[in-house]
Each structure stands twice: as structure tokens, then as C-alpha cells.
Amino acid sequence: MKNRLKILRAERDWSQADLADRLEVSRQTINALETGKYDPSLPLAFRIARLFGQPIESIFDDGQA
Amino acid sequence: MTTAKNPARKRYIARFIPTMAVYVAAIFTVSWVFNRYEPTGPIAWGLALLPALPLLAIIAIMGVYLSEEGDEFIRKILVESMLWGVGLTLAIMTVWGFLEIYAGAPKLPSFWAFPIFCFGMGLAQPFIKRRYR
């Protein structure tokens, strides 16, 4: 699924490792999320949304809207 | 899984290594006892089960790690690689089983199921990881 994680991360000047620490996941998980090859579970998507202070649908795009 | 600070992974390794050491010790001890004393009957059955116990523990340790791993993506990779291990084990056992029945192939000891599973699991992991890069 397409997402804006990389942009949101860059805006904050965080590395993948920084974001991984903040979400308590591994750096390879962040990488898989950013490439859009792995879709997060709903709980992880909520954690991401809260961290960036944005609704899930403004971060992730399932191409249906 | 490769992160050094992953506590679930650390606990897994801390359980895995001593259990494998017990397994190796059990294999050597039991082999030695069978060579030396050639036990039979219930004693032989009991002794033969000894090396299996640490391997049963290893299966449980893998299951506990799977439930303790907090990173869902790592968990997914692990589960997928386990499925490849299961697939390889079933494939080899099935094919070889028919070769034994019809073609007189030498008996493949069922002991090999677990090593084949681990081999398949280990072999699959880098390929699965590459898919998500």
C-alpha cells in the first residue's frame, strides 16, 4: 500500500532507525513499510498515525478513495 | 530479528544455545551408553528418548519466541519461513516415502524431519526478506 511515511519522516529529519525506535519496531520493518511492500496491522497503523499526529487515511493510501 | 536490542530475540538465543548444548551432550552420552552396555527393553526406550527431549524443548522455545516477538513484521517473516520449512519437510518425506515403498530406496529415518524443517526455514529466510526490500 502506498504511504507517506518516508516524506513524514524526512520532514522531521528522522532516520529509519529514529522512526524504528519511536515505534518500537526494527529498522527493517520501517524499510518494508516505506517501500509499501508490507502493510502494517491496525494497531501499528494507529501508533504511526498518533506519532505523526495525522489520521491513518492521510498517511496510507489504499487507492480506493 | 537482527537488531541487537531486540529483547525477545535475546531471550530466544539465551534459551536456544544451552538447550542445544544439552542435546549434543545427550547424543554423545546415549551413543556411548548404547555402544558400551547395549541396553534393551524399557531401559533402551527410555535412553533413546533422552536426546529427543531437548529437541522438543527447542520446538517449544521457537514457539515461545514467536509469541514473544513484538515486531509484527519480523513475526511475519518468521512464520513464512516456518511454512517453507514445513513445506520442504512434507515434500521430502512424501517423495522419499514413495521411493521407499515402490523403488526400494533406503529408509530415511524420521529423525531427519526436524533438521530438514530447520534447513528449509533457514534457507527461505533471506529470500523472504529480499521480497520486502
Contacts A31 to B, Cβ<8 Å: 132-133
Could you tell me if B63 and B38 lie in one domain?
yes
Tell me whether A2 touches chain B (CB under 8 Å). no
Contact yes or no for A26 and B72 at CB 8 A: no
The half-sphere exposure of A9 on its side-chain side, counting CA atoms within 13 A, is: 19
Q: Which of B71, B131, B133 sits opposite A29 (nearest CB)?
A: B71
Shortest distance, CA B109 to any CA of chain A (angstroms) = 39
Is pLDDT above 60 for B3?
Answer: no
Question: Position B113: which residue type?
Answer: A
Mean per-residue pLDDT of chain A: 94
Shortest distance, CA B130 to any CA of chain A (angstroms) = 10
pLDDT at B25: 97
Contact yes or no for A44 and B6 at CB 8 A: no
Tens digit of pLDDT for each residue in B31-90? 999 999 999 999 999 999 999 999 999 999 999 999 999 999 999 999 999 999 999 999
Could you tell me if B53 and B10 lie in one domain?
yes
pLDDT at B133: 84
Domain boundary among B35, B70, B105: B70
State how many domains chain B has. 2
Q: Which domains does chain A have, with CATH numbers?
A: 2-58 (1.10.260.40)
Contact yes or no for B132 and A25 at CB 8 A: no
pLDDT at B6: 85
Q: What is the DSSP letter of B107?
A: P
Could you tell me if B41 and B84 lie in one domain?
no
B19 within 8 A of B58, measured Cβ to Cβ: yes
Report ipTM (2 d.p.).
0.91
B1 within 8 A of B9, measured Cβ to Cβ: yes
Contact yes or no for B70 and A24 at CB 8 A: yes
Q: How many Cβ atoms from other residues are within 10 Å of residue B94's Cβ? A: 10
Categorize the per-residue pLDDT at B1 as very low, low, confident or very high, splitting at 50, 70 and 90.
very low
Exposed/middle/buried for residue B69 (C-beta within 10 Å: 0-12, 13-18, 19+): buried
Helices in chain B by DSSP H: which ranges? 7-37, 41-49, 52-68, 72-103, 113-131
User: What's the grid cell of residue A19?
Assistant: 522512526
CA distance B97 to B106: 10
CA distance A22 to B118: 33
Categorize the per-residue pLDDT at B4 as very low, low, confident or very high, splitting at 50, 70 and 90.
low
Range of the domain at B39: 1-70
Q: How many Cβ atoms from other residues are within 10 Å of residue B112's Cβ? A: 14
Mean per-residue pLDDT of chain B: 94
pLDDT at A65: 67
Q: Report the pLDDT averaged over residues A19-24.
A: 95
Categorize the per-residue pLDDT at B2 as very low, low, confident or very high, splitting at 50, 70 and 90.
very low
